[in-house]
Every structure is written in C-alpha cells, then in structure tokens.
Amino acid sequence: MRIGWPRRVFAQVLLMQLAIATGVTALATGLFLQPLGDQLDDQAMRRALSIAQTTAARPGLAEDLRRTPPSPDGPLQAEAERIRLSTGAEYVVIMDERGVRWSHTSPERIGRHVSTDPSAALAGREVMQIDNGTLGRSARGKVPLRDAAGDIVGAVSVGIAYESVRDRLVSAVPGLLAYAGGALAVGALAAYIVSRRLQRRTHDLAFSDISALLAEREAMLHGIREGVVALDARGRVRLVNDEAQRLLGIGPADTGRPLDDVLGPGRTTDVLAGRATGQDLLTVSGNRVLVANRMPTDDGGAVATVRDRTELERLGRELDGTRGLIDALRAQDHEHANRMHTLLGLLELGLYEEAVEFVTEVIGVHRATAEQVAERVHDPLLAALLVGKAAVAAERGVGLRISEDTLLPDRVVDPRGLVTVLGNLVDNALDAATGTTDPRVEVTLRAEGRTALVRVGDSGPGVPPEQRDLIFTEGWSTKKAPSHGQRGIGLALVRRLAERQGGSARVGAGPNGGAEFTVVLPEALSEELAAERPPAGAGTVVSAETTPRPELPGQAAPAETSETR
C-alpha cells in the first residue's frame, strides 16, 4: 500500500524539518570527514618522509651502497629492516642512482629496479605522495642519498601502509557519528516543539485548508457591503476592504500607516481606534452617517466594522417630517372642524352676512400668513419649510417668529443643504421651548453678500457653557432615542455642512433666555441678483396664540430635517 504525504501542517512541517536536520547532519559529517581524511593522508606522507630523511642521514650508508653489492644478507638490507621494524613502516627501500634496490621487504626483489619513478628523488628533490607500488597503495616519502661530499649516490624510499590511515579514519567515524546523532536528536526535538506550536497556531489544519480559508477570507472581505478595517497593536492600518475604502476615503497605499495619520483627528478616528467605547457608535464621515463597532484581537490589535447608515438616517428624517406633516394636518383638521361648526351655526341662526364675513376673514388670514413668510424668504423650499414648521409649532403651543431683519433672496446655491441646517435647528428649538412658561422660537435668515446667516433662538433652558462644544459631537444627545434610530446626528450634520462650506456653527445664550444657534455659510448665495420683493415692515409671528396656522398641504419639513440636541 502506498503511503501518502500527510495533510496536516503539523505532520508536514515535522517531516520536512526532520529531513532537513538529517540532511544537514549528514552534510556536516561528510564535510568534516573529507578534511579529516586529507589531514591523515598528509600526516602519513610526512611521517614517511621523516623516516626517509632520518634513514638517508645515517653515517656510512652511502659508503655501504658503493662498496657492497645488492644482497639480502648485505648491511643495507639489515639496516633497512631494522629501521622498518622500529618505525612501523611498510617498507624501507634503499636504491642506487640507477634505481636498483639494495633493500626491500621481499628479499627476492633486491637487485631489481623500483616499480615507481625515482627520478625526482635522484635529482635532489624530496617527494611526498600517495601511490601504488608492488606492496599496494601506500603513503610514500622519497629523499636523495648523499655521500660525505654531498654528491647524490642513490635514494631512500619509505612507505606507510594506506590501510593504517584508513583505519584511523574509520576509528574516528563512530565518535563523529555519536556527535552527529546527538545534534540530530536536538534538531528533531526542536523540530517537534516548533511543529507543535505551529499546530496550535494553525488549529491543526492542512495547508490546503489554510489556503482555502485565505481565499474565502479575501472574497468575503471584499464582497460584503460592510467596511472592515484591521489595526495592529500599534494602531497602524493592517487591512482595509473595498467598502471601508469607499466609506472612509482611504486606499491600499495607507496600509501600514497609523490610523491617526490616515483619517486625522475626529470622532471617526476615536471610534475606530477604541478611544470611544460602546456598540453601534454613530459617527459622521464626509456626508455619510456611519455605525461602527470594534472587536479587539489576541495580538493587541483590533478589527473595526463600519456600516453606512446614511440611507437609514435619511428615511428616519423623512419619517420625522411625515410625522410632523401628519401632526400639522391633524391640527388643521381639528381647527377646520371648529370653523365648519361655527359656520354651520351662523347659517342655522340666519346670520348670513356674519357667515360671509367669517369665511372671508379665515381665508385672508391664511393667505396673509403664507405671503408674509414668502415676502422675507424668497427661496421656495425654505419658505415652505417655515410654513410647515409654523403649523407644527402652533399645534405644540409654541410661537414661531420670523425676525424683522430676515431677508433671504432667491439665489441660494444649495437649498437642500440649507433646508437640512434650518430644519434641524428649528426642530431642536421647538423641542427645547415646548413646556416652558412662554414658549417662543425666533428664526433669522439673512444674506450678507454671498454669505448666508442662519440664527435660531428659543425660550428653553439653554445649553450650559461646558456642553456647548459637546452638543455638536456625533452621538451626543440629551433626548431619548427614537424607535427608528439614534439621536446625536442632527447638530453634527449641521456643523459638518457648515464646515464643508468653510463656515461655522456655534451655540450661545439667546435673548429669550434659552439657546441661540448661529450658522454662517460663506459662498452660500450666487452672485446673480434675483428680483427682490419689498420686506413686510414688521416681524412675522406665527403661533398658536396669535396667528392661525397656514393651510399649505404637502409643505411640511423636507426629508433632510432631523433631531438632536
């Protein structure tokens, strides 16, 4: 049966590390044995050369070579054998200048020419080599033999059996292998420890599983409609998916940079960095309302998710506007019923002239109320907004007053943006003034060149000085959240819209004892002059106590208005 390659990362890594450790150990052993063998060969050759030099230096050896013939019983053979036995050499050969042996381990070879070339030694050079001869492979040393006058009369050749060198090398192998085995055991233990740690970190998955998970993660991160930003322990951006790039305006080039440098200071940065805690935290990025959550990771970093709530908040503001319109229509329905009952009574009593006068007065008052607003606010969207808010204010018993110096020409560059600003401010003012002793809200819309100034004051409790900066923070509110969403967005949008146009939004104490919000919008008006209508002389007051509510069906607060103080 064929043994397959294991799938688990732990087993694969362990086997690979063991194979690497074994290979490295074998390579190191081989690399150590090779110079050791060369060293032993060199030692053997030097030993043979040293014996040959000592032999050639013995006194009388050259004279015996000249005066005696080669013989197994000659003095040179006896001296050579004595030296061989005392030194442990394989052979000691003395030859004349013709290369004829005068001594040899085998007596029958005496008187014959040597088997290897003696010319180098007879020429006066000392030779060390590993070579094959009549006695087999040996480490050899050859030196010239000189007489008393220094003339070369022969040579001395000494051999060390190569088997002895090999025996010394082989004898060193067990000890070396023991060290190598110990090193291999330590490497195997280290490989096991590393593999076990890797097993825990990878949850005992196979490489194919990890690869599939990575591919699925990439597809999920870039396919979901929710922004994901991963941060490391130092607060640097580690990962950002496509939706987060779109919502936060950052790109792949920002990976590795600190989050504070990428997004800059602000609530969005504080929420993603964990400096603002909680769940489903609201923040405003550009013209988008975002909901963010943050989950810490084991390595000290975090993963933050961001959802776009702009559409939901827009629907919520539309719902608020619809509710305001319904309240206004309900109030008008009640008032209309009262007037119809009055008219019916006048007719039943036969007071026809009084009935005609009553109907004429009611129609004229409603027309006058709408005309008075339109005379001071020439933009149709803003005028419709104020007429609708007047009906809501009258129903809630709040006097909504247009100040005497209000005059806004019909050349607003972004009417919907100004509707958002004015609608949020009026809604907050109505909430604050409702329930007070003398509930009043005063609105000022004025043009100063191309700059639009919006001021809304109320008779409510006001805003404490220590909270005047917090009131424009996303998510901050003193009121209970509605069922369709969260508060703390309206005033944040007001300031964001103002700052985006280079303007400002601030709050202070108003003349009526409550809060007064002032928004300055530079470049909010175009340079083209529209036909201006003459102002209406006095301030326009629209309240439940002083002026009937205008009947402008469908002209309630636009969808952009919202809540929050």
- The predicted-structure confidence for 22-52, as pLDDT tens digits, reads as follows 777 777 666 666 666 677 778 888 888 999 9
Predicted confidence at residue 357, as pLDDT, reads: 79
Cα distance between residue 23 and residue 17, in whole Å: 10
My answer on whether 297 and 339 are in the same domain is: no
Nearest CA-CA partner of 271 in 304, 228, 235, 231 = 304
Q: Are 206 and 36 in contact (CB under 8 A)?
A: no
pLDDT at 186: 78
Q: Is 191 inside a domain boundary?
A: no
Say whether both 510 and 420 belong to one domain: yes
- Selection from 489, 426, 414 nearest residue 456 by Cα: 426
- Could you tell me the CATH number of the domain that includes residue 435? 3.30.565.10
- Token pair, residue 313, equals 């908040």
* Residues 297-327 pLDDT 10s: 888 889 988 888 766 656 655 666 566 567 6
**432 shares its domain with 534:** yes
Q: What is the CATH number of the domain that holds 159?
A: 3.30.450.20
Q: Check whether 207 has a pLDDT greater than 80.
A: no
Tokens for 143? 């030196």
DSSP labels for 190-214?
A: HHHHHHHHHHHHTTT-BHHHHHHHH
Sequence-ordered list of residues with C-beta below 8 angstroms from that of 339, at least 6 positions apart, any chain: 358, 362
Q: How many domains does the chain have?
A: 3
Residue 3 is assigned to a structural domain of this protein: no
Q: Provide the edge-to-edge strand list for the sheet that holds 302-308.
A: 237-240, 227-231, 302-308, 288-296, 281-285
CA distances in angstroms from 125 to 63, 152, 172, 198, listed in the order given: 21, 11, 34, 65
Note whether 423 and 274 are same-domain residues: no
Q: Residue 502 CB: number of other CB atoms within 10 A?
A: 12
β-pair partners for 229: 240, 304
Report the DSSP beta bridge partners of residue 154. Answer: 96, 145
User: What 3-state DSSP class applies to 295?
Assistant: strand
What torsion, rounded to 10 degrees, do the Cα atoms 193, 198, 199, 202 define?
170
Cα 152 from Cα 147, distance rounded (Å): 7
Q: Residues 137, 250: one domain?
A: no
Listing DSSP states for 307-341 in one string gives EE-HHHHHHHHHHHHHHHHHHHHHHHHHHHHHHHH
Is the domain of 233 the same as that of 258? yes
Q: Looking at the structure, tell me whether residues 128 and 69 fall in a common domain.
A: yes
Do 429 and 463 lie in one domain? The reply is yes
Mean pLDDT across 98-104: 90
Whole-angstrom distance, CA of residue 499 vs CA of residue 388: 27
CA 421 – CA 561 distance, rounded (Å):
7
Q: Do 299 and 383 belong to one domain? A: no
DSSP-derived secondary structure letter, 3: P
**Measuring CA to CA, how many Å separate 175 from each of 168, 180, 241, 435, 450?**
12, 9, 60, 100, 96
State the average pLDDT for the chain. 76
565 located within any domain: no
Which of 45-59, 263-277, 362-376 bottoms out in mean pLDDT, i.e. has the lowest?
A: 362-376
**Residue 559 is assigned to a structural domain of this protein:** no
Model confidence at 528: pLDDT above 90 = no
Please indicate, yes or no, whether residues 95 and 162 belong to a single structural domain of this protein: yes
pLDDT digits (tens, 9 = 90+) for 326-370: 766 666 666 677 778 887 887 888 887 887 777 776 665 555 556
Place of tokens 């608020």: 320
Comparing 207 with 267, the larger pLDDT belongs to 267
Query: 393: closest CA among 545, 560, 555?
Result: 545
Determine the pLDDT at residue 157.
92
Sheet with 540-542, side-by-side order of all strands: 504-509, 515-521, 451-458, 440-448, 399-402, 540-542
Share of the chain above pLDDT 70, in %: 73
Determine the 3-state secondary structure of 147 from DSSP. coil
Q: Are residues 150 and 249 in the same domain?
A: no
**Is residue 200, in this structure, part of any structural domain at all?**
no
Indicate the helix (H) or strand (E) that contains 15. helix 9-56
**Terminal CA-to-CA distance of the chain, rounded, Å?**
77
Q: Give the pLDDT of residue 226.
A: 83
Q: DSSP class of residue 467?
A: G
pLDDT of 503: 85
- Exposure string of 475-490, with b = 16+ CB inside 10 Å and e = fewer, is bbbeeeeeeebbbbbb
Q: Residue 32: which domain range?
A: 9-168
Whether residues 108 and 137 share a domain: the answer is yes
What pLDDT does residue 495 have? 83
Side-chain half-sphere of 261: how many Cα atoms within 13 Å? 10
- Does residue 514 belong to any structural domain of this protein? yes
What is the reported pLDDT for 276? 81
